[in-house]
Amino acid sequence: MQIRVETARNDLDGDVRQRIERRVRFAMRRMRAQVMQVHVRLRDINGPRGGVDQSCQITLATDQHGTLVVHAVERHAMGALALALKRAAGALVRSWQRQRRPVRGLAHRQALAAGGAA
């Protein structure tokens, strides 16, 4: 799994970048076979004014589910990252479950219709 971390000013030092990469790898550990690339974008929406303005956008490139994009806004950058990772993992699991759900055929629909009419 390839991880790219991007900020508006590219002001991340090596320790913070490694911490973000560790968090991403930990959150995606169950789905690492499906996720080929993770792109994390962190930015400060309001600039120096403060407030709930740290934004994190995560783009997951998967081989079976296409591209998934999630977004989160929090007071602190790491909080936004944690929330976005939670949403990304949930979206990927839902997509995987949706793909595994059996498709019910015409015979099943006809049986339901016959049972409902009786």
What are 28-62's pLDDT values in tens digits? 888 888 889 999 999 988 776 766 788 999 999 98
Looking at domain 2-117, which of 3.90.330.10, 1.10.3720.10, 3.30.160.100, 3.10.20.30 is its CATH number? Answer: 3.30.160.100
Taken in order 8, 10, 12, 17, the sign of the CA dihedral is positive
Q: What is the pLDDT of residue 42?
A: 92
| Residue 108 burial class via C-beta count within 10 angstroms: exposed 0-12, middle 13-18, buried 19 and up | exposed
List the chain domain ranges: 2-117
pLDDT at residue 66 is higher than 80: yes
| pLDDT, tens digit (0-9, with 9 covering 90-100), for 85-118 | 999 999 888 888 877 766 666 666 777 777 755 4
- pTM value is 0.76
Cα 66 to Cα 95: distance, rounded to the nearest angstrom: 10
